[in-house]
């Protein structure tokens, strides 16, 4: 019999099996209702479980043309849906703070001038672009450093899309990065031996969660998450070309400087698994140095120092106060707001119910739901038991990055997207845990899952009693923020006094996690494709509000 014939026989057999079970269930099950469960249903469940987890009932060979075609059709529909929904959802370019200071440098790198306007629509500057890099990106008399305090790496990554697709470049870039996250999360799961069904589920959770679907503009953390998915896929492979990995890591460092926090994990993997440790270390370092060199040059050119975080540049236009911090005997001034132990007391950012070190874990549990959060704990243990090196690698990938953000205040809704940078290890553990639960028929494992779920639910519910005073430094830092500017940022609450009811609502939402992941499908009804398409670069010249001036600069 041909391969196609075998596949046909397999699917026909499956259909007959299901029909037979249904018939038998109706005839026998209903007759004995209340006495005993229909016994043969379990065989059908076993069959479906095996199919979902890829234990594979190998009646049809995996490379059979029909099976392959069906598989690819399924992938196409799944990832095509993610791509199209993201493509329609995008509401940029140049709307909102982050989107503006990511898309403007990309436009200037393409030599596409824009018209800067005030919120009333008055033109702000007269300028001509020199037509070369990096001179296009800095003009001290008018727009200043065009990327402001944002990293230039994200803009560089977006620029080819603007060159090739002038009208829809940013939209396409946005859609491709989100689809890329889903694709590479799926591939990561497959590399770890997780079944196709669970891998697709986790891939959807990675991009369909409420935090990511609420982002309708370019966001450096989404771009960072896409790079992380690619990097993790390559690091989890059995063979690792360290030069290429170094090149990619260097690019990621230019997109999100926080990438430095992944260095311990990478070094651990290199020294634990490589057979030529020194050679691979040199290759990796050279690769990273090659791709970070243009960013270092840009830092030197724009900010006057190679190793500087753009937000710490002292000569940005406007008012950016520093605050005293201390840790043990070390005292320093910092243009940001750390929480305890670097501050004198535990505080929370105004308009947020909890300090960041509680907001982040509660938000992660809210995204994953109690089910996947418990699976993540089981998966972490299961992964460690089966593959210690890669398990330790994911741990080291996760912990330093979380620690970096836990004690930062000056939080905002947009900043909550930083959790996208450390979501991947959790998703991988959740996938492994879910897979283990389905594959290994041990009641003890389900018991542990139940116990984890109860413990998480209990701890999270207890958080409702945590009350922390407001960080008064925030009002010093943003005295010039107007209602209009924060409304543009999607944060218009922040110019009104705190509302107790809204804080309570937030508190209730975060301390009452659902069983299932917080997936959001509301964008399906909200996405107005034809309305938002006009936001392409059709306008000539494109009018851009200079948001910076309203938050830190002279405009009040």
Partner 1 sequence: MNMFIGITGFILSIVLPGYSVATLAYPHMKRSHQYILGTALGMILVPLLTFFLCILCKTVFTYTSLLACSCIITCSASLSKNVFFRKREKEPCIS
Residue ranges in contact with partner 1 by CB under 8 A: 63, 109-111, 131-134, 136, 153, 156-160, 162-166, 176, 180, 183-184, 187, 226-227, 230, 233-234, 237, 239, 241, 244, 247-248, 251, 254, 291, 293-294, 297
CA distance 48 to 310: 53
What CA–CA distance (Å, rounded) separates 103 from 445?
A: 48
3-state secondary structure of 36: coil
Distance CA 452, CA 439 (A): 19
C-alpha 268: how far from chain center: 24
- Judged by CB, which is closer to partner 1: 281, or 319? 281
Identity of the residue, 233 or 488, whose beta carbon is nearer to partner 1 in the bound complex: 233
Q: Which residues pair with 332 in a beta bridge?
A: 325
What phi, psi does 190 have (nearest 5°)?
A: -70, -35
Contact between residue 517 and residue 363 where contact means Cβ atoms under 8 Å apart: no
Residue with Cβ nearer partner 1 (124 or 167)? 167
Q: Which is nearer to partner 1, 244 or 451 (CB)?
A: 244
Least separation in angstroms between CB 315 and partner 1 = 22
Q: Which 3 state secondary structure label does DSSP give 166?
A: coil
What is the closest distance, in whole angstroms, from the C-beta atom of residue 9 to partner 1 in the complex? 24
Shortest Å, Cβ 141 to partner 1: 20
In whole angstroms, how close is the CB of 246 to partner 1 at the nearest point?
12
Cβ-based burial of 75 (10 A; exposed 0-12, middle 13-18, buried ≥19): middle
Question: Toward partner 1, which CB reaches closer, 251 or 358?
Answer: 251
Provide the minimum distance between the beta carbon of 229 and partner 1 in the complex, in angstroms, as a whole number.
9
Q: What are phi and psi of 239, to 5 degrees?
A: -110, 145
C-alpha 162/C-alpha 109 separation (Å) is: 10
Closest distance to partner 1 from the beta carbon of 247 (Å): 6
Round to whole Å and give the CA distance between 556 and 397.
42
Give CA angle at 361 (435, 221), nearest 5°: 85
Question: 72 vs 475, which CB is nearer to partner 1?
Answer: 72
Q: How far apart are CA 182 and CA 121, in angstroms?
A: 39
What's the min distance (Å) between Cβ of 38 and partner 1?
A: 41
Q: How far is the CB of 103 from partner 1 (least distance, A)?
A: 14
Give the span between the Cα atoms of 257 and 282, in whole angstroms.
Answer: 21
Q: Which of residues 186 and 351 has its CB atom nearest to partner 1 in the complex?
A: 186
Phi, psi of 116, deg, nearest 5: -80, 130
Question: Is the Cβ–Cβ distance between 357 and 406 less than 8 Å?
Answer: yes
The least CB distance from residue 238 to partner 1, in Å, is 10
Based on CB atoms, which residue is closest to partner 1, 212 or 248?
Answer: 248
Task: Report the C-alpha gap between 323 and 301 in whole angstroms.
Answer: 27
If the CB atoms of residues 298 and 488 are measured against partner 1, the closer one turns out to be 298
Calpha distance 287→519 (Å, rounded): 38
Least Cβ distance, residue 523 to partner 1 (angstroms): 24
Q: Which is nearer to partner 1, 164 or 450 (CB)?
A: 164
Query: Can you tell me the distance from the alpha carbon of 223 to that of 301, in angstroms, rounded to the nearest whole number?
Result: 24
């Amino acid at each position: 019999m041909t391969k196609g014939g075998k596949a046909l026989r397999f699917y026909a057999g499956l259909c007959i099996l299901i029909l037979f079970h249904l018939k038998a269930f109706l005839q026998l099950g209903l007759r004995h209702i209340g006495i005993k469960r229909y016994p043969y249903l379990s065989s059908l469940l076993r069959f479906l479980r095996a199919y979902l987890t890829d234990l594979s009932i190998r009646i049809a060979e995996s490379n059979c043309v029909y099976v392959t075609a069906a598989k690819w059709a399924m992938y196409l529909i799944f990832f095509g849906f993610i791509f199209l929904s993201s493509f329609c959802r995008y509401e940029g370019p140049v709307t909102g703070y982050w989107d503006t200071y990511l898309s403007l440098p990309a436009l200037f790198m393409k030599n596409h001038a824009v018209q800067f306007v005030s919120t009333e629509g008055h033109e702000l500057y007269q300028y001509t672009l020199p037509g070369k890099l990096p001179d296009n990106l800095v003009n001290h008399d008018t727009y200043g450093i065009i990327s402001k305090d944002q990293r230039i790496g994200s803009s560089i990554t977006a620029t080819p899309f603007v060159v090739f697709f002038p009208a829809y470049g940013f939209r396409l870039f946005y859609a491709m990065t989100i689809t890329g996250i889903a694709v590479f999360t799926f591939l990561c799961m497959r590399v770890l031996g997780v079944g196709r069904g669970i891998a697709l589920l986790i891939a959807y959770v990675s991009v369909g969660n409420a935090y990511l679907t609420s982002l309708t503009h370019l966001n450096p953390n989404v771009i960072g998450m896409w790079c992380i998915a690619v990097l993790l896929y390559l690091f989890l492979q059995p063979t690792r070309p360290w030069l290429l990995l170094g090149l990619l890591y260097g690019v990621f460092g230019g997109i999100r400087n926080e990438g430095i926090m992944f260095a311990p994990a990478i070094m651990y993997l290199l020294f634990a698994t490589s057979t030529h440790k020194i050679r691979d270390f040199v290759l990796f370092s050279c690769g990273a140095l090659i791709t970070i060199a243009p960013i270092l040059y840009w830092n030197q050119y724009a900010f006057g120092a190679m190793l500087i975080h753009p937000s710490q540049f002292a000569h940005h236009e406007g008012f950016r106060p520093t605050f005293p911090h201390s840790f043990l005997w070390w005292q320093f001034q910092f243009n940001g707001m750390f929480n305890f132990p670097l501050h004198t007391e535990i505080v929370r950012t105004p308009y947020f119910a909890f300090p960041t070190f509680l907001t982040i874990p509660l938000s992660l549990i809210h995204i994953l739901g109690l089910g996947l959060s418990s699976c993540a704990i089981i998966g972490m243990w299961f992964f460690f038991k089966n593959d210690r090196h890669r398990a330790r690698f994911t741990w080291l990938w996760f912990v330093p990055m979380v620690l970096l953000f836990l004690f930062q205040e000056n939080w905002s809704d947009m900043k909550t997207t930083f959790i996208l940078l450390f979501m991947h290890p959790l998703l991988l553990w959740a996938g492994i845990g879910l897979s283990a639960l389905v594959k290994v028929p041990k009641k003890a494992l389900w018991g542990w899952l139940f116990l984890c779920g109860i413990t998480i639910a209990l701890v999270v519910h207890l958080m409702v009693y945590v009350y922390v005073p407001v960080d008064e430094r925030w009002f010093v830092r943003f005295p010039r923020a107007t209602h209009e500017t924060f409304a543009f940022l999607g944060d218009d609450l922040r110019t009104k006094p705190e509302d107790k009811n809204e804080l309570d609502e937030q508190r209730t939402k975060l301390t009452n996690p659902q069983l299932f992941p917080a997936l959001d499908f509301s964008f399906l009804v909200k996405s107005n494709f034809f309305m938002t398409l006009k936001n392409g670069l059709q306008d000539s010249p494109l009018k851009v509000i200079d948001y910076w001036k309203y938050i830190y600069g002279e405009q009040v």
